[in-house]
Every structure is written in C-alpha cells, then in structure tokens.
Amino acid sequence: MARALFDFRARPRFDIRAQPGFGVLALFTFALLYLPIITLVVYAFNASDSLSSWGGFSLHWFAAAAQNQAVQDAAWRSLIIAVSAATMATIAATMAAIATTRTPPYPGLSVKYAFINLPLMVPEIVTAVALLIVFAKVKVWTGYTGLGYLILAHTAFCIPFAYLPIRARLEGMDQSLERAAADLYAPPWQVFRRVTLPLLRPGIIAGFMLAFVISLDDVVISEFVKSGGQDTLPTYMLGQLRRAVTPEINAIAAAFLVLSVALVTVFFFINRKKA
C-alpha cells in the first residue's frame, strides 16, 4: 500500500498545457476572437469608401464621425444613460449585496440570489419585450416620453452585473474589523461609512464600470424601449448598417474599443495602487 501511495505521488500532475495540440488550439481561439476586431480597427483608418479594399491610411472617417451631429447627439445620449443607469444600478446592487451577505442564512435567501440575477438568465429579447409592454402603458397614462424609460430599463438590466463583483468583494472581506467597530459602540451607519465602504470601494468601482460598459453598448433593450429621436450610439450604428455601410461605422466602433480598453486599464491601475 505504501508503494502504491508512493507511485501515485510520483506521477506527474495533469497539465492541460502539455497536451498535444493545446498551443495550436489556443492560437486558433485567440485568432477567432481578436482577428475580426483587429480587422475592424485597421479598416477604420481606410481612406477608401469601400469596406473590402484598402485605399491608404487616413483619419478622414474619425473626423467625419466627430463632425456628424447625429453621432454627437447619440454619443452624449449614450453617456448620459450609461452614467445614470450605472450609478443607480451600483447603489441598488450595493444595498442588495449588503442585505444578502451581512445576514445569517435563512430559508429563501437562495431565492433572493436567483431573483437578483434573473436578468442574466432571461434572454435579453424577453426582457426588452416585457419592458416595451410595460412602458407603453405608462407612456399612455402619463404622457411622458423622455429618456427616463431608457435609464430605468438599463438600470434594471445592469443591477446583476454590478451586484456580482460587489457581493464577491463583501464575501471576501474580513468581518472582524466591522465587529471590532461595533464592539467599540460605533453606530451601524458609522461602521458602514468608516469601515465597510472603504474596504468595499474596489468592488463598487468594478460593479460601476461593468454596469457602465453593459449599458453603453446595449442594443436590444434600447431598440425596443426608446422613443423617436432617442437613438443611442449602438442603435444609431445599427440603423446605419441597415441603410449604407461606410467606414465611419468602423471608426465609431474603434472609438468604442478604445474607451473599453481605457476603462479596463484605469481599473487595473486603481486596483494595483490599492493593493
């Protein structure tokens, strides 16, 4: 038995990287993921009107997109909606995460987890149709057709995306500091403001940025909920793709990519500085 145990320990551990073909498969996967994005970025600098033939390097389409009044309006509208929705979703997700992690387990807690994360499991088209029906009734009753519906719809959809990193941060936090503050007669609000919130800040920032990006590039819900003249940048791009495809769309998409990379980079340095 001792010899068998020795032989078991002497066997090399299973390493997926050592399997035949792993490197080729990994390279193929990365090429499948990033080659279309690289192609899009390259053709955003194409001087030609064609999407399939290279006509030389040019910044013409970035300038055209920046000077396009419809693009400017859609971009500002997208930013307003994304910031508002991400802020409200992060606040709601923070309260929900605290309520579901800073309490002893009880019957029904798992149901609450599932209920909060339900938008992640339900197909987005179902959520969009449901919101369309509800908001259509509300528009008739109130007569209001502003951006509030888009902000509310994006907030509801983004809450679980903000909730997951905040809850993960709370579950990984050492609660001894909170208990120590409570033992020193600190009121619950002071414990939250002076102890819990500073430790939770990286999770809140991660949740906000994730909700912001999800709201910024949403198409399905925005397309169903928006009223006339309320195009966001993604729905504007979708409309242009239905009419005439020009490299201006590539330029807008490349700008979206730069913004996403910038957000990830900033978040990386924030976390690194805190660490």
Residue 110 or residue 212, greater confidence: 212
Residue 83 or residue 202, greater confidence: 83
Q: Is residue 147 part of a domain?
A: yes
Q: Is residue 60 part of a domain?
A: no
Q: Is residue 166 part of a domain?
A: yes
Per-residue confidence band for 273, with pLDDT thresholds at 50, 70 and 90: low
Averaged pLDDT of the chain: 83
How many domains does the chain contain in total?
1
Q: Which residues of 215-237 are buried (b: 16+ CB within 10 A; e: fewer)?
A: bbbbebbbbbbbeeebbbbbbbb
pLDDT value for 82? 93
Whether the pLDDT of residue 8 is over 50: the answer is: no
Whether the pLDDT of residue 211 is over 80: the answer is: yes
From residue 116, alpha-carbon distances to 84, 104, 220 in Å are: 20, 18, 20
- Let me know the angle formed at the C-alpha of 10 by 6 and 16, rounded to the nearest 5 degrees: 140
Average pLDDT over residues 252-262: 84
Closest CA to 144 of 134, 135, 155, 157: 135
Q: Is residue 179 part of a domain?
A: yes
Q: Is residue 37 part of a domain?
A: no
- 96/88 Cα distance (integer angstroms): 12
pLDDT value for 13? 67
Closest CA to 37 of 247, 253, 261: 253
Instruction: Return the number of other C-beta atoms located less than 10 Å from residue 137's C-beta.
Output: 10
* Tokens linked to 144: 């209001």
pLDDT value for 160? 92
Q: Is residue 47 part of a domain?
A: no
Residue 57 or residue 158, greater confidence: 158
The distance of Cα 163 from the centroid of its chain, to the nearest Å, equals 11
Per-residue pLDDT tens digits for 50-95: 767 777 888 888 888 888 888 889 989 999 999 999 999 999 999 9
Whether the pLDDT of residue 124 is over 70: the answer is: yes
Q: Is residue 172 part of a domain?
A: yes
Average pLDDT over residues 10-21: 66
Residue 54 or residue 160, greater confidence: 160
Average pLDDT over residues 166-186: 81
CATH number of the CATH domain containing 156: 1.10.3720.10
Q: Is residue 55 part of a domain?
A: no
- For the full predicted model, state whether its pTM sits above 0.85: no
Look up the domain containing 159 and give its range.
69-274
pLDDT value for 210? 87
Residue 100 or residue 14, greater confidence: 100
- 126/130 Cα distance (integer angstroms): 6
Tell me if 148 sits within 8 A of 189, measured CB to CB. no
